[in-house]
Amino acid sequence: MNRDRVLLEGPHSRRRELWLVLRVVYDFIKGFRTLHFVGPCVTVFGSARYDETHPEYLKARQIGHRLAEMGLTVMTGGGPGLMEAANRGAREAGGPSVGCNIQLATEQKPNPYLDRWVTCRHFFVRKVLLFKYSYAFIGLPGGLGTLDELFEALTLIQTRKIASFPVILIGVEYWRPLYSLLRHLAAAHTIAAADLDLLLITDSVDEAMAYLRRNAVQRFGLEPRPKPSVLLGERGNAAVAAAR
């Protein structure tokens, strides 16, 4: 059943409209309870279509690893491809790895590198959860879903609905047409020239991490997570997940 279509197809009976609202509220509560203690997060967007043979998969995995080393939780859309790669990198570094999965007509299963996840019925619920716990956003090459999430982040920052969190795009050549479009919008005065400064576009993982450290970790006073002590019998996230 396509719940988004049902929700948006027009007015229903009052009883059914109330039921739809209650289901949405339930999804929000379920998401809040699942993700309440996972932060601070960095949300990584990217294509579900690239498998581990693709060069971008390796880079996404590296990014997830570096974020975990910085003491940050890696959050993704929970699916395959570059989302999986980022979660996998975090898991391999012993850091927290979470996802906000989505129910689709062709079922998308949560990837196997998640410590926690929630599966959403509606895209708008999923996007709220992806943004609610994050202090930065990293866009890897992706399609319409990635663009949707990326422009949601830029819109929220531009309109000051959220703080000016760093937005980083990885892949200069891939994102060049998008940046040209943004420059065209600025020239046409439909966005401000200063809006072009809302994002960093780079090929360098090192540059991306340094930018994130300055504009998220240091700016918002994010404390690195303590590493588990073997002497105290503490286990990292990967060990906890394996024990479930």
Q: Is 162's pLDDT higher than 50? A: yes
**pLDDT the model gives residue 48:** 95
Instruction: Tell which wins on pLDDT, 36 or 205.
Output: 205
User: Under 8 Å CB-to-CB from 6, ≥6 apart: which residues?
Assistant: 20
| More confident call, 222 vs 107 | 222
Please report the pLDDT score of residue 242 as a whole number: 35
Per-residue pLDDT tens for 5-23? Answer: 666 666 767 788 888 889 9
pLDDT at residue 136 tops 80? yes
pLDDT tens digits for 50-98? 999 999 999 999 999 999 999 999 999 999 999 999 999 999 999 999 9
Q: Quickly state the pLDDT bin for 2 (edges 50, 70, 90).
A: low
Architecture of domain 14-220: 3-Layer(aba) Sandwich (3.40)
Amino acid residing at 135:
Y
Spatial distance between the Cα atoms of 170 and 166, rounded to a whole number of angstroms: 13
How does pLDDT run across 25-35, given as a tens digit for each residue? 999 999 999 99
Across the chain, what does the average pLDDT equal?
89
Check whether 241 has a pLDDT greater than 70.
no
- pLDDT over 60 (residue 110): yes
The pair of three-digit structure tokens given for residue 215, joined into one six-digit string: 């504009």
| Domain range annotation of the chain | 14-220
Q: Which pLDDT does position 237 carry in this prediction?
A: 46
pLDDT of residue 235: 54
Q: What is the 3-state secondary structure (H, E, C) of 7-71?
A: HHCCCCCHHHHHHHHHHHHHHHHHHHHHHCCCCCEEEEECCCCCCCCCHHHHHHHHHHHHHHHCC
Q: What is the mean pLDDT of residues 110-124?
A: 94
Q: Of 1-5, 147-151, 156-160, 164-168, give the lowest mean pLDDT range.
A: 1-5
Query: 13 or 159, which is more confident?
Result: 159
Q: Residues near 205 by Cβ (< 8 Å), separated by ≥ 6? A: 59, 62, 63, 66, 170
CB 116: neighbour CB atoms within 10 A?
Answer: 18
Quote the DSSP letter at residue 159.
Answer: T
